[in-house]
């Protein structure tokens, strides 16, 4: 019998290592003991010379250059769509497999868009680039997948409560500073987000499509749900809102299945489902909250109830909260790398 030859652990690169997602990528690789022979960190020229902690060492951050990918096996990108568009093809040409957190390639039919709990099979078709989905899409639909498999979802309506962390490290700092200024009675001029953030909320800070009236975040959730579920006919509508929460997104979800479904059936389907934890204690009024979800790998799901506006009994309402820096970004990317 022939013995399998163990493949050497790859060199891994993180592009955007100093960002909100980037530092979580480092933590996930360390926590999950991802097998790698070397970790290389890249960011913009602003960060060159900084170090970041990894496995007890201080790793240097280098400025991303066109020749940064020589010898790299896996490149985890989280530095915005423009950087991905320019550098991901160079990384692939140098022999790396790219896992990209940006929106640059998500809707490219040749690029798999993967949540490992849902469609790990799609990884087989990759041609060098794999896209990590939008954070709200991941957090909303990972808990719906067991339902989708048992009783196809025909229609899905989402309303998001999105944290500052979704807009990066600078937005988190803006929320801290704006809140301090508000409480001190000082004027504060926001620099990162378009509206006053402390003790306020506003429609998601992306461009509105004049034809549909949906903003880019809502459009991403709608389109990406269809691609990840492999179901072009699922009807999806979303309202995306930025709320003054530091970290972890929440989503109010209502969905309509093909056949009648009860909250008990949904609870049963979600009990022990991968990537999901039920937090559904009506007696103590304890349901998913961003503070509980922060730093957690699992997406919290609760408030599971019949949607009483559907006389056919095919609709369920529920509420989820998930750390979008983890399952909505870094953790999902590292899970993809593990699946590879």
331 touches 310 (CB < 8 A): no
- Report the catalytic residues: 135, 249
Where do we find the tokens 């955007």? Answer: 16
Among 10, 19, 73, 116, binds ligand NAP (CB under 6 A): 19
Nearer to ligand NAP, 48 or 183 (CB): 48
The residue number with the shortest CB distance to ligand NAP is 19
Q: How far is the CB of 21 from ligand NAP (least distance, A)?
A: 4
* Cα 56 from Cα 146, distance rounded (Å): 39
Kindly give the pairing relationship between strand 97-100 and strand 315-322.
Answer: unpaired
Q: How far is the CB of 138 from ligand NAP (least distance, A)?
A: 8
Among 12, 28, 79, 131, binds ligand NAP (CB under 6 A): 79
Q: Which stretch in 15-23, 139-147, 203-211, 256-264 sits in contact with ligand NAP by CB under 6 A?
A: 15-23
23 touches 52 (CB < 8 A): yes
* Cα 196 from Cα 272, distance rounded (Å): 40
Q: Which stretch in 10-18, 213-221, 230-238, 276-284 sits in contact with ligand NAP by CB under 6 A?
A: 10-18
Q: How far is the CB of 299 from ligand NAP (least distance, A)?
A: 14
Q: Contact between 165 and ligand NAP (CB under 6 A)?
A: yes
> For residues 80-99, which are near ligand NAP according to CB under 6 A?
80-81, 83
**Site for ligand NAP (CB under 6 A): how many residues?**
29
Phi, psi of 208 (to 5 degrees): -90, 135
The sheet with strand 51-54 has its strands ordered as 51-54, 57-63, 38-43, 11-15, 74-77, 97-100, 129-131
Q: How many helices (H) and strands (E) does the chain have?
A: 10, 14
Q: Output the six-digit token pair for 116.
A: 């490992």
Residues near ligand NAP (CB under 6 A) are: 16-22, 43-44, 46-47, 64, 78-81, 83, 101-102, 135, 165-166, 168-170, 324-325, 328-329
């Amino acid at each position: 019998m022939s013995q399998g030859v163990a493949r050497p652990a790859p060199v891994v690169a993180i592009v955007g290592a100093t960002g909100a997602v980037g530092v979580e990528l480092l933590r996930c690789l360390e926590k999950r003991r991802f097998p790698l022979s070397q970790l290389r960190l890249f960011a913009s020229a602003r960060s060159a010379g900084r170090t970041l902690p990894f496995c007890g060492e201080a790793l240097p951050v280098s400025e991303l250059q066109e020749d940064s990918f020589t010898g790299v096996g896996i490149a985890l990108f989280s530095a915005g769509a423009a950087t991905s568009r320019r550098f991901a093809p160079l990384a692939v040409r140098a022999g790396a497999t790219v896992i990209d957190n940006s929106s640059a390639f998500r809707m490219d039919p040749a690029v798999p868009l993967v949540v490992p709990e849902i469609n790990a099979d799609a990884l087989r078709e990759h041609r060098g680039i794999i896209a990590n989905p939008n954070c709200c899409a991941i957090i909303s639909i990972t808990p719906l997948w067991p339902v989708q498999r048992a009783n196809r979802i025909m229609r899905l309506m989402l309303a998001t409560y999105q944290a500052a962390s979704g807009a990066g490290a600078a937005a988190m700092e803006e929320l801290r500073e704006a809140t301090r200024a508000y409480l001190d009675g000082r004027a504060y001029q926001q620099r990162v987000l378009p509206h006053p953030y402390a003790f306020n909320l506003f429609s998601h800070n992306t461009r509105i499509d004049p034809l549909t009236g949906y903003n880019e975040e809502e459009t991403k959730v709608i389109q990406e749900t269809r691609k990840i579920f492999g179901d072009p006919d699922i009807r999806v509508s979303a309202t995306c809102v930025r709320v003054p929460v530091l970290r972890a997104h929440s989503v109010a979800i209502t969905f309509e299945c093909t056949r009648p479904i009860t909250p008990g059936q949904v609870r049963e389907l979600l009990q022990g489902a991968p990537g999901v934890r039920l937090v559904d204690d009506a007696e103590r009024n304890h349901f998913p909250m961003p503070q509980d979800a922060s730093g957690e790998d699992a997406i919290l799901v609760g408030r599971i109830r019949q949607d009483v506006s559907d006389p056919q009994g095919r609709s369920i309402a529920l509420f989820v909260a998930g750390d979008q820096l983890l399952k909505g970004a870094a953790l999902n990317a590292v899970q993809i790398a593990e699946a590879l």
